[in-house]
Structure 1
Amino acid sequence: MAALESMPESPPEHEETLHEPKTQGTRPMPDDIRFDAIVNTVALHPKEDILAAGDIDGDIYLYSYSCNEKNRELWSSGHHLKSCRKVAFSCDGQRLFSVSKDKAIHVLDVESGRLLTRVRKAHSAAINTVLLVDENVLATGDDEGTLKVWDLRKGTSFMDVKEHEDYISDIAVDQAKRILLTSSGDGTLGVFNIKRRRFELYSEYQGGDLTSLSIMKQGQKVISGSSQGTVYIFNWNGFGAPSDRFAVQAESVDCMVPITDSLLCTASMDGVIRVINILPNRVMGSIGQHVGEPVEEIACSHDKHFLTSCAHDQLVKFWDISSLQDIQVSDYRRRKKKDSRLKSMNNKAFGAGDDFFSGLLDATDEKAEQMEEESSGDSDSD
């Protein structure tokens, strides 16, 4: 088991960007942030207007973002030797955790950028994802399917299990901090019990990579995206097989972020960021895209006003999602006039002049509509 290393203090570097605020519709928004390399991961501070990003060169950047002032680089860190795969803030926002292709875990001080601790060779393979379970417990997954759970007080792992046959793409935890869920490139959902420190079960194979995870509907549903553009819905305590599924009509569903208990944003290899309603299952529309560039990650701001995204165009973009909180979606089968619904939603939820749903996919089209009707007999309901 690898131990944590205390790191000497180093001064942060400060540099201002030259970006100007922009607007989406009538709401002012922070400007895009351009980087010198492809950004793999982005995370937003849980309490402040601060953004962290990690790139393929292993560098990590911390920015303050603003609607009215220039975005400002607070510091950068080059301690990772290879591509930074994932960054995550602690619950109090005082520490930043990062994992890398170099197999190391780093813990950085958010205020100064100082490297506080390092776990060298934390895994035997490149680490792909990280989840802060609570202030003392960290979970990491690697390219070979190994899951480790760490006690941050001791600096060692108390779970080290290899149950997946391919990379672990995402990790989620229940509200009780007892059950860890993993999505994997082997096409299965994994269930692990932290308290008992053991593997519980797999789901059945889903026919493609499972790429992302979210827990919704007050903890009763687990949503998984896939490389085939299908969203799978599992009942809690029914992980063996999905209770429902639907096609998003996208190349893939690579990452997702819940916005409300029914709505989530997803991003894909086609660069489009979509808004999806869960039960009833419907693609509501797109909020924007990185044109022709795969999106690596999306994140939601602490006030639920903005979504950020990073893609292969070396940009971190901001999107206005403040109006999503007000969307109410009733059962599609009770609706008779599709066109009148879209007009009503555009006018009431977002304002007649708002361009939020440009390129609206309408759930998603007649083909998706037909698929939903065909599956209605054995689908979940609210």
Structure 2
Amino acid sequence: MKFAYRFSNLLGTVYRCGNLNFTCDGNSVISPVGNRVTVFDLKNNKSDTLPLATRYNIKCVGLSPDGRLAIIVDEGGDALLASLVCRAVLHRFHFKGAVHSVSFSPDGRKFVVTKGNLAQMYHAPGRKREFNAFVLDKTYFGPYDETTCIDWTDDSRCFAVGSKDMSTWVFGAERWDNLIYYALGGHKDAIVGCFFESSSLDLYTLSQDGALCVWQCDTPPEGLRLKAPAGWKADLLQREGEDEDEDEDGAERETTIRGKAAPAAEEQRGKVQYSRVAKYFFNKEGDFNHLTAAAYHKKVHLLVTGFASGIFHLHELPEFNLIHSLSISDQRVSSIAINGSGDWIAFGCSGLGQLLVWEWQSESYVLKQQGHFNSMVSLAYSPDGQYIVTGGDDSKVKVWNTLSGFCFITFTEHSSGVTGVTFTTTGYVIVTSSMDGTVRAFDLHRYRNFRTFTSPRPTQFSCVAVDSSGDIVSAGAQDSFEILIWSMQTGRLLDVLSGHEGPISGLCFNPMKSVLASASWDRTVRLWDMADSWRTTETLALTSDALAVTFRPDGAELAVATLNSQITFWDPESAAQTGSVEGRHDLKTGRKELDKTTAKHSAKGKAFTTLCYSADGRSILAGGMSKFVCIYHVKEQILRKKFEISCNLSLDAMEEFLNRRKMTEFGNLALIDQDATEEGGVTIPLPGVKKGRCWAATTTEGLLIYSLDARMLFDPFELDTSVTPAQIRAALCQRDFTRAILMAFRLNERKLLQEALESVPWDEIGVISSSLPDVYVEKVLEFLASSFEESRHLEFYLIWTQKLLMVHGQQLKSRVGTLLPAVQFLQKSIQRHWDDVSKLCDWNRYNMQYALAVSKQRGLKRPLEPPGGEEEADAPEDGDGSLRLLRRGPGDADGPLA
């Protein structure tokens, strides 16, 4: 089995901090999620996380006007120039300081970053390969405090910068004679946003205390005059002009512009002048209702403002007419973005991790997503792999669609932290355990809690398990050391299993037999026979506390994770240990800021807290309180691969050694800084589960999914020089389909594979399938499974699948272990189409039954004497339009269809 797993997607967290951006077409939202970036496609209802990560949490993201490039800057000042087309990092740069905002000019030739109390303008990277993509052009000084926001004019001639010193500065992007800089006051608090009017130098400024100032400029943009150079600068610019004629992207010499808050009168003579024409105040609701975010759409003159209370306002400028006001959260609005058409508004609330897209004209949500705002501690895959259920310390249970990446249902019935989640074998029932003393069963058909299992006396449940039939539910108690058994059908308590002398840490049913395995902190694992009065058949003695237990998919082996960093393997029939894995050196834990001991001598986190076998049972996936997840070979008892889950240094315990500069004479700075825990920088366990082609892990950053289905992957299979696209197409022209398909799979290029398979006539698929060697059958099945996700040729690929399984069924049984992931992937794809088609067929069937019932009812009433005579009886009936609908031809477009 291959282990080339790559990061696939990030679920469970939709927004953390930073600014939001809409793509050029206005159909997608770019949201920073910790140290990663997620693109939410609102049109196709999908989310995709870019396969790149920064060292710290992302502070700001700047999007180029054409939507091809993005500058991603983290809290440490490190920047990534990323291509949104090929999803790759093109360049890395360090700004040598914390960056507050970054913005491209509308023409795409420059971009400005603000750090500290200055603004720096860089030449934007071109489309050609460059040694240094970021070339500094000018540095602008003026504000006395940190800068907060940037806005450009439409013609890219000037830009404005807001600051915490209550001033706004207008700078010229070129060497203008009548505008070098201009300082605007008039506010009594930090500037939150500054926006130019469309095709004008008029400016709007907003401060944190809820004040809006309207500034009018006496000069149009066309009135800006270029400053004529003199002396050595003229010669220098002449030489630079000659270089620019040869190369349009040539870099200019860096210059520095220093502004004054109160320039002299002779300096302002003949210059651009600003005057404040109006000042407005937003309605306050409480002393803490500060303005925290703002966005302005120049074409529709729409101003959107967000406040600390979770309220947002829509105003029309310059008249300041209130259009709309709504409360969307009980936390502060951190970021606002408006799409190009001005119809959709995106809001980000970092306190609860919310991301909302609001359509203000229809007053409806386009997107409303929220992750677990507390630790996510457990997860489970559905049997078909289409859904993932997660449970968190925030007492919520969320169900995520693995294809779209969105959460489509949230259950809030629990009143305390959720400790365990699992699916039944049907995949339509979720069973969860919680610290509130209840075990609940949720129905995914009607989205309701249809069973609630309780104990005779109050207790806290730490784990849950369901047998293969889905009728027996078991949960382990953390305080009473008991295991409770319920019936799913009746909801009654069947038995209480006693015998453990410590908290129950894990439960698992044997998939093939009626045996329950329970792990406990009393250093034992007990096997309970469900068919024989729930008696203990075996007791496995361990050398340390048991933390997790799981059965192999065939039920012939048992794996136990213990507190001494070991994974022991047992034969459940003979109760004999068959092997062990030492994971102490594989789980490299970091040192927390408040730890007194070093990471090397610390005992925290050096143990696996969750285990899961692979589909073929040859490997086991293990995770714990570490940033690493390990895959071990069970038989050889060696480490196959180790994955680093996160490299985000904004989280605690990510580094092995602490920075000594944080230690002062007053103690650790983490104890002094009140904002140290604002972002929740505490590591949590990494429970994970593996299902064939992908596996997932719950982490501090969210739900990470690693998959074998990576994009843009070139993996030739038995390739030689005779296999070329021309040879493949020549074989197709000669109708030698088998040779063409074999060569296409050896080249392993998706478009050629699709062309070769779809060239086969449907009535010859059976013959071609029988002529394929067995080694290629698995690859064909994997390609068919991936094709079901995006192709419309459903029946054609179903015929391919049926013929392959019918012809090669006997040979596939001998390699069931290696083919199981491909078959599960195929089943997942077919099941999704089956669900969609079945819903459509049911909808059509109900509509036809309704139409027939209405027509029969009308037919029974027709012999009766109509109230208007015969002429009225022969006229076509109106009513609800059912009869008119049945008689309508295909060309009629109007009429009541719904």
TM-score, normalized by length of structure 1?
0.63
Q: Counterpart in 2 of 1:282?
A: 576
Q: Does 1:267 align with 2:303?
A: no
CA distance in 1, matches of 2:511, 2:384: 25
Cα gap change, 1:257/1:16 in structure 2, threshold over 3 Å: closer, same or farther? Answer: farther
- What is the letter of the counterpart of residue 308 of structure 1? L
Tell me which of 484, 493, 498 is aligned to 1:190.
484
Gaps of 5+ in 1: 1-6, 19-56, 60-76, 324-349, 357-382
Q: Does 1:307 align with 2:620?
A: yes
Question: Relative contact order (alpha carbons < 8 A, sep ≥ 6): 1 or 2 greater?
Answer: 1
The answer on whether the counterparts of 1:87 and 1:96 sit within 8 Å (CA) in structure 2 is: yes
Q: Deviations over 1:83-109 (max 9, x none)?
A: 111111111111111010001111111
Q: Deviations over 1:168-208 (max 9, x none)?
A: 23222222221112222121111110111222221124211
The answer on whether the counterparts of 2:558 and 2:571 sit within 8 Å (CA) in structure 1 is: yes
- What is the letter of the counterpart of residue 124 of structure 1? S
Q: Counterpart in 1 of 2:844?
A: none
Question: What pairs up with 1:1-382 in 2 under 5 angstroms?
Answer: 9=45, 11-16=47-52, 79-119=371-411, 121-133=412-424, 134-163=426-455, 165-185=458-478, 186-216=480-510, 218-238=512-532, 241-249=535-543, 251-259=544-552, 260-291=554-585, 293-321=606-634, 323=635
Q: Deviations over 1:11-46 (max 9, x none)?
A: 32121589xxxxxxxxxxxxxxxxxxxxxxxxxxxx
Q: Deviations over 1:124-156 (max 9, x none)?
A: 111110111132211110013211111111111
- What is the letter of the counterpart of residue 414 of structure 2? H
CA distance in 1, matches of 2:378, 2:565: 19
Shift of residue 10, structure 1, vs aligned partner? 6.1
Shift of residue 355, structure 1, vs aligned partner? 5.8
- What is the letter of the counterpart of residue 181 of structure 1? S
CA distance in 1, matches of 2:385, 2:471: 23
Please provide the CA RMSD for this pair. 2.8
The answer on whether the counterparts of 1:149 and 1:160 sit within 8 Å (CA) in structure 2 is: yes
The answer on whether the counterparts of 2:377 and 2:419 sit within 8 Å (CA) in structure 1 is: yes
The answer on whether the counterparts of 2:517 and 2:549 sit within 8 Å (CA) in structure 1 is: no
- What is the letter of the counterpart of residue 144 of structure 1? D
CA distance in 2, matches of 1:355, 1:90: 29
Cα gap change, 1:266/1:101 in structure 2, threshold over 3 Å: closer, same or farther? Answer: same
Number of corresponding residues: 263
- Structure with more of its chain in strand, by fraction: 1
CA distance in 2, matches of 1:155, 1:239: 34
- Structure with more of its chain in helix, by fraction: 2
- 2:48 match: secondary structure: coil
CA distance in 1, matches of 2:53, 2:506: 32
TM-score, normalized by length of structure 2?
0.28
- 2:47 match: secondary structure: coil
Cα gap change, 1:228/1:58 in structure 2, threshold over 3 Å: closer, same or farther? Answer: farther
Cα gap change, 1:252/1:239 in structure 2, threshold over 3 Å: closer, same or farther? Answer: farther
Identity of aligned residues (%): 16
- What is the letter of the counterpart of residue 145 of structure 1? G
CA distance in 2, matches of 1:161, 1:132: 16
CA distance in 2, matches of 1:155, 1:135: 13
- 1:242 match: secondary structure: strand
The answer on whether the counterparts of 2:538 and 2:575 sit within 8 Å (CA) in structure 1 is: no
CA distance in 2, matches of 1:190, 1:239: 14
- 1:102 match: secondary structure: coil
CA distance in 2, matches of 1:288, 1:266: 12
The answer on whether the counterparts of 1:168 and 1:182 sit within 8 Å (CA) in structure 2 is: yes
- What is the letter of the counterpart of residue 207 of structure 1? E
Structure 1 segments (4+ residues) deviating >4 Å: 7-10, 238-241
Cα gap change, 1:187/1:238 in structure 2, threshold over 3 Å: closer, same or farther? Answer: farther
Larger Rg: 2
The answer on whether the counterparts of 1:295 and 1:309 sit within 8 Å (CA) in structure 2 is: yes
